[in-house]
Amino acid sequence: MTNPTSTPTQSLQHAEALARFDLLTVDGYDVRLDLASSDETFRSVTTVRFQSQGGPTFIDLKPVSVREIRFNGAPVDVDTLVRGRLPLDTVAGANELVVDAVMRFRNDGEGLHRSVDPADGKHYVYGMCFMDAAPSIFPCFDQPDLKAPYTFHVTAPTDWVVVGNAPGTQVEPGTWEFETTQPLSTYFVTLVAGPYHLLTDDHDGIALGLSARASIARDLDADADELFTMTKQCFDEFHRLFGIRYPFGNYHQAFVPEFNAGAMENPGCVTFRDPLIFSSRVTRGVRIQRATTVAHEMAHQWFGNIVTPKWWDDLWLNESFAEYMGNRVTADVTEYDDAWTHNAYARRQWGLVADQRPSTHPVAGNGAEDALSALQNFDGISYAKGSSILKQLNATLGDEVFFAGVIDHFTKHRFGNATMHDLFTSWEQAGAGDLSSFTSHWLRTAGPDQIVLDRAAGVVRRTPPADHPADRPHTLRVARAVDGKWETSTLSITGPETPVEAGDSAFLLDPYEDTWALVQPDDVTVAALKGLLPSTDDTLLRAGVWNNVRSAFHNAAIAPADVIDLLEAGLPVEDSDDAVFYTMPWAVAKVAPLAPEPASALRRIHDAAMSKVTSAAAGSTLQLSAFQAAVSTSTDPGQLRSWLEGRVLPDGIGLDLDLRWRILVQLAVLGETDREELQAALDAEPTARSRVEHTKAMASLPDAEAKAWAWARFTGEVDVPNYELEAAGVGMWRSGQEHLTEPYVERYFADLPGTVEKRSGWVLADTAAVFFPSTSLTAETVAAAKAFIDSDGLDLSVRRRVVDATDELQRRLAIRQAFPAS
């Protein structure tokens, strides 16, 4: 992977954005792209028309080369372009810039990403302009508050379909003309081009579309009814709640290869990672994840697209609001009425863990001085915590006031930009009253309150983080076991201590996740849960139990052996495949290696999974999730081989692509396959999914050659697309292979800074995280990581990921110290 320019570019500073906003008004962009002339580069001819107060400024541009630049009719020396910035000496009034440049197709999921489908050799392109990527496609004033309309003209191979933010027409073979868009921020601009399989529908006057690679056309056809149905249901509900119609013309949902995020809310053309088109059987929870993602991106069409944050420090508003509305609308109007249970398993710990790290930050007011630093706060706090807080606010205000304020916000700032202050002013004017205390304590103060039961004193104690004092009231439900059954009541916490009567019974705090706080069960509750879980029939309550347990384990407050006991106790009655899908991998990766006898703990997890495979209804997704866990915990090569060959598969389990590769990866971990067999499996089914899983399996083999193979991808010596790079990191660090990976601990800290020369943005940060030596549980590795963090000149995204990974490593060492093996 290479950067889109030969020298590092500058990230826009907030002060620079303020100055440029005061100086300029952008009238529009006219962009002509030639995607047909080369597989490596494309021609970009852009005309930017804007008004200025007069004076110097700059435009952002990251080309391979520049053919010509003309500003207000005069030629511009192309050598004035330095580090992605082209200086402009504007005149008062109208200005026009024309740039004819050659740009590079990228393979890191940003800019204009081009990939080749290994299944059929066809090429696919999509645009991802988030943060600093738009200037690698066209010159632009790359900041969210200089919105403008766009008109695109695209030349593409004649067998390609091209979709953009506005409706487009193929006026002659290979030539596409697009209508002018509504005013958009630069980071929303996209094009999706290639021999995509396209499906269309319509609803309530809105043209709908779906597209995916030709090789997965049959899978898109199979999923289309569900996707179109959910989209229509969500449109109806958003129109009902907001009273404002979707304003961006067509609504196309493009499932594209090698996409970094889950999805991107580009107006008119939302892009999704294409593993969300299912080529193998998946669990109900995975389908809920897709449903909430669809609803999340639709919520963005209002919150984010009609009204966009003025600067990146308010990006949380986009994500928190869409996260809350995506879950709510999915639960309320689609077939997935258990979306909140899924959210408890899938998202809660993501946010809570992030909020306890040294890198925690306020939900709002993150002090994002530039775009790249803002990207580091694009995390579980911005999504899960912010969503939880907005859900609490909605519960306090009620729908009438909550949505009246939101509608006022959309109306006042339609197609413009706004701040958190603007939104909260709209809520206050709608009847919310003074929200300054709420914003100060909940949104502008980092970290979670810890709420614990002091059974002996008969109180619940609320303690804010020492470094982030706050006075947060909490209203939450508690569950107390009485005669083997759970009784719930509401508890209001307004001070440091709140009286309760727990007696000697199991007592769970906030099992329904009514508030945002760190809660965990005490020893009496843990002991009682082993008998109570088998009779607990409330799925959401069970999710709350597991989040209590996971928080306690994260803070070395529960023994690994107790967690395994709870898993064995609860799994037989579990009817949510989300519980299996999320709890089992966590137990395998985090709990079993720290148990007194790791091999025994892994066997117990495997036996529990196999028991569930047998007891679950044949063919159910609950059985499927249990079988996936059984494969990933098996240490018996004979058992795995019998499954791979289809000889003794459980009734209800069919061997599809996903399961075949899951078994092969596990055989690779055990050293019970070889490179020839893995290559043969890839050759037999050369899909994009197979290529990624093949990479994971190759890196998982327990020999020195495999680790060197993976490391060459980390350093960039071997250039691979983003998904394969991540898979190599996953396979690199395997528990039980420390004798092979130990030499790479020191090399990680030595080689990581140099990866900045090979990749940038999202992939740079993800690579730092996935290749971190997570299995090296030693004080020496922690010390080396801390020394690395303190070194000068580190890329901010790299430092942030190492900080977070180091915190995780320290916590695992703390668990080992608190509960030693002997």
Residue 201 has pLDDT above 80, yes or no: yes
What is the share, in percent, of the chain residues with pLDDT greater than 70?
Answer: 98
Give the mean pLDDT of 328-352: 97
Residue 376 has pLDDT above 80, yes or no: no
Rounded to a whole number of angstroms, the CA Rg of the chain reads: 27
DSSP 443-473: ISS-SPEEEEEETTTTEEEEE--TTS-----
Helix axes 399-412, 420-427, angle to 10 degrees: 130
User: Which of these is catalytic: 297, 574, 724, 726?
Assistant: 297
DSSP-derived secondary structure letter, 177: E
Give the mean pLDDT of 769-775: 97
CA-CA distances (angstroms) from residue 52 to 89, 126, 448?
10, 32, 46
Q: Where are the alpha helices (DSSP H) in 150-272?
A: 217-242
Which run of H or E residues covers position 524? helix 523-532
The model's pLDDT over 674-732, given as tens digits with 9 standing for 90+, comes to 999 999 999 999 999 999 999 999 999 999 999 999 999 999 999 999 999 999 999 99
Domains of the chain: 1-104+125-192 (2.60.40.1730), 312-443 (1.10.390.10)
CB 536 within 8 A of CB 479: no
Residues pairing with 321 in the sheet = none
Look at residue 3 in the predicted model and tell me its pLDDT: 29
Residue 373 has pLDDT above 90, yes or no: no
Give the mean pLDDT of 310-332: 93
- CB-CB neighbours of 345 under 10 Å: 25
Question: Is residue 746 among the annotated active site residues?
Answer: no
411 class by beta-carbon count within 10 Å (0-12 exposed, 13-18 middle, 19+ buried) = middle
The model's pLDDT over 19-78, given as tens digits with 9 standing for 90+, comes to 999 999 999 999 999 999 999 999 999 999 999 999 999 999 999 999 999 999 999 999
* 3-state DSSP assignment of residue 184: strand
Q: How confident is the model at residue 342 (pLDDT cuts 50, 70, 90)?
A: very high
Q: How confident is the model at residue 314 (pLDDT cuts 50, 70, 90)?
A: confident
CB 494 within 8 A of CB 480: no
The model's pLDDT over 9-34, given as tens digits with 9 standing for 90+, comes to 778 999 999 999 999 999 999 999 99
Q: How confident is the model at residue 2 (pLDDT cuts 50, 70, 90)?
A: very low
The dihedral formed by the CA atoms of 748, 10, 443 and 317, expressed in degrees to the nearest 10: -110
DSSP-derived secondary structure letter, 11: P
Across the chain, mean pLDDT equals 95
Give the mean pLDDT of 592-615: 96
Give the mean pLDDT of 388-409: 97
Give the mean pLDDT of 761-773: 94
Q: Please state the separation of Cα 820 from the chain's center in Å.
A: 35
Range list of β-strands (E), 332-423: 416-418
CB 520 within 8 A of CB 507: no
The model's pLDDT over 495-529, given as tens digits with 9 standing for 90+, comes to 999 999 999 999 999 999 999 999 999 999 999 99
DSSP-derived secondary structure letter, 594: G
The model's pLDDT over 419-470, given as tens digits with 9 standing for 90+, comes to 999 999 999 999 999 999 999 999 999 999 999 999 999 999 999 999 999 9
Give the mean pLDDT of 403-410: 98
How far apart are alpha carbons 26 and 392 in whole angstroms? 39
Q: Where are the alpha helices (DSSP H) in 616-703?
A: 621-633, 637-644, 657-670, 675-684, 688-700
How far apart are alpha carbons 584 and 593 in whole angstroms? 13
DSSP-derived secondary structure letter, 304: T
How far apart are alpha carbons 791 and 325 in whole angstroms? 41
* 3-state DSSP assignment of residue 88: strand
Look at residue 85 in the predicted model and tell me its pLDDT: 97
Residues pairing with 450 in the sheet = 463, 518
How far apart are alpha carbons 579 and 574 in whole angstroms? 7
